[in-house]
Amino acid sequence: MSDIYLDNNATTKVDPQVVEAMLPYFTEQFGNPSSMHSFGDRVGKALKKARVQLQELLGAAHESEIIFTSCGTESDSTAILSALKAMPERREVITTAVEHPAVLNLCEHLEKQLGEDGYVIHRLHVDDKGRLDLAEYRKKLSDRTAIVSAMWANNETGTIFPVEEMAEMARAHGAQFHTDAVQAVGKIPLDLKRTAIDMLSLSGHKLHAPKGVGVLYVRRGTRFRPLLRGGHQERGRRAGTENTASIIGLGKAAELALEHLTFENTCVKAMRDRLERDILAEVPNAFATGDTSARLPNTSNIAFEYIEGEGILLMLNKEGIAASSGSACTSGSLEPSHVMRAMGIPYTAAHGTVRFSLSRYNTMDEIERVVGVVPGIAAHLRSLSPYWSDGRPAVAEEAFAPRFA
């Protein structure tokens, strides 16, 4: 039996059509798009096509709003640092407690800068379903805010934030609005020209294109300062010779993502729903984390109380099933993730979270196989747990498990 990959929020398989589109740009079409001869010219035309493919996926008004970068992380850094440099009189950043480390760690770094170089960072809280409180957001927004950076969808739970509304509110205060949409792009429909979003990040490898290529969308008219200075590539907004093959692959991936958007929201969603429903029906003391009423169609993050998520992952891996732990960060720390902590998931459950993230390459047969093994794995691990006996918790949760602050 072949392996089953349910870790698509970590990275995705490159679509074979994307590989095919890229191949000529390693061999015959090796020109530098800045060159004044036909070698460069042909590649330049292909780059322009890729830009238009991204414009269409995002619903951007102009292809010039698409800047190619090296990854989602670079796009996030460029956006936030650009706003701070463009509006030096504004010293505050608003973000959320559940952002990807690409945003959170940059903000922490900015906060730690000393004295006049430092910034005030506001991290918006989320409730137990991972939802923001827009009243709290309204209170933090002011004419001191340079930029608001809030993810469109959370990578661990799939929870979708109301970024369009948030962008309108930021604009009313003259602040720029950036969204890390790495997980949202290709999974939910986007139409940026109808929003007040100024900047958006996406990453190739989360959308069936290669690793090492991304996009920063910058709305026309947004005050912008480049992170990398040098050559005049990307209209002077991101210097460095273009990663031509990968950009062309990302263009193809964008085209395919647009074609598959309905499939994602019907078939992929149906597989995700089936997986979640059957697991929750058969495993006691388990629940889906995040806001299941505003969620990406491909993601299910399930908390199995009184079990270590890592144990489940190891046993799933033995069955040829790849998922991911929402509970501990990859650094080997045993602390639950910042996302679970921000939601105040009880300790007994936060350690036992498993993220299943699907793609259009999964099949219902695979889902049935997964659903067939998860209840047995949960029962086995619980049979080894001192906190579990006779099919239920052996201790009252309150007895030993304080909620996170």
Ligand X SMILES: *Cc1c(COP(=O)(O)O)cnc(C)c1O
List residues with catalytic annotation.
329
Residue selected from 18, 71, 107, 209 as contacting ligand X according to rule CB under 6 A? 71
Check residue 182 for interaction with ligand X (CB under 6 A): yes
Least distance (Å) from ligand X to the CB of residue 400?
33
Least distance (Å) from ligand X to the CB of residue 370?
22
Calpha distance 81→78 (Å, rounded): 5
Residue selected from 33, 72, 251, 346 as contacting ligand X according to rule CB under 6 A? 72
Residues numbered 371-400 forming contacts with ligand X, rule: CB under 6 A = none
Calpha distance 327→111 (Å, rounded): 26
Check residue 285 for interaction with ligand X (CB under 6 A): no
CB nearer to ligand X: pick between 104 and 350 = 104
Residue selected from 98, 124, 132, 151 as contacting ligand X according to rule CB under 6 A? 151
CB nearer to ligand X: pick between 72 and 393 = 72
Least distance (Å) from ligand X to the CB of residue 399?
36
User: Which 3-state string (H, E, C) describes 15-47?
Assistant: CHHHHHHHHHHHCCCCCCCCCCCHHHHHHHHHH
Q: Which stretch binds ligand X (CB under 6 A): 67-75, 262-270, 302-310, 329-337?
A: 67-75
| H-helix or E-strand spanning residue 79 | helix 72-86
CB nearer to ligand X: pick between 77 and 348 = 77
In sequence order, which residues have a C-beta less than 8 Å from that of residue 289 and are 6 or more positions away?
Answer: 130, 156, 157, 301, 302, 303, 326, 340, 343, 345, 353
CB nearer to ligand X: pick between 156 and 305 = 156
Using an 8 Å Cβ cutoff, are 224 and 29 in contact? Answer: no
Residues numbered 214-233 forming contacts with ligand X, rule: CB under 6 A = 214
Neighbours of 172 (CB within 10 A): 11
Using an 8 Å Cβ cutoff, are 107 and 93 in contact? Answer: yes
Calpha distance 351→146 (Å, rounded): 36
Query: Can you say whether residue 228 is alpha, beta or left, with left for phi > 0 and alpha for psi between -120 and 50 degrees?
Result: beta
Residues numbered 236-255 forming contacts with ligand X, rule: CB under 6 A = none
Token digits of residue 141: 């927004």
Residue selected from 8, 73, 289, 327 as contacting ligand X according to rule CB under 6 A? 73
**Cα distances (Å, whole numbers) of residue 255 to 42, 165, 186, 208, 394:** 20, 27, 10, 11, 53
Least distance (Å) from ligand X to the CB of residue 57?
16
Using an 8 Å Cβ cutoff, are 159 and 81 in contact? Answer: no
Check residue 130 for interaction with ligand X (CB under 6 A): no
Residue selected from 90, 100, 260, 355 as contacting ligand X according to rule CB under 6 A? 100
Could you write out the DSSP letters of every residue in 281-348? HHSSSEEE-S-TTSB-TTEEEEEETTS-HHHHHHHHHHTTEE-EESSB-TTS--SBPHHHHHTT--HH
Its sign, for the CA torsion 95, 101, 107, 108, is positive
Q: Which stretch binds ligand X (CB under 6 A): 69-77, 105-113, 128-136, 315-323?
A: 69-77
Q: Which stretch binds ligand X (CB under 6 A): 44-52, 114-122, 201-209, 396-404?
A: 201-209
Helix residue ranges, H only, 87-196: 101-112, 134-140, 163-172
Residue selected from 55, 78, 179, 183 as contacting ligand X according to rule CB under 6 A? 183
Check residue 324 for interaction with ligand X (CB under 6 A): no
Check residue 155 for interaction with ligand X (CB under 6 A): yes
CB nearer to ligand X: pick between 188 and 280 = 188
- Residues that bind ligand X (rule: CB under 6 A) add up to a total of 14
Q: Which stretch binds ligand X (CB under 6 A): 37-45, 68-76, 86-94, 325-333?
A: 68-76
Token digits of residue 138: 């309204």
What values do phi and psi take at 141, rounded to 5?
-70, 135
Q: Which stretch binds ligand X (CB under 6 A): 39-47, 175-183, 252-260, 265-273?
A: 175-183
**Chain residues in the site for ligand X (CB under 6 A):** 71-73, 100, 102, 151, 155, 180, 182-183, 203, 205-206, 214
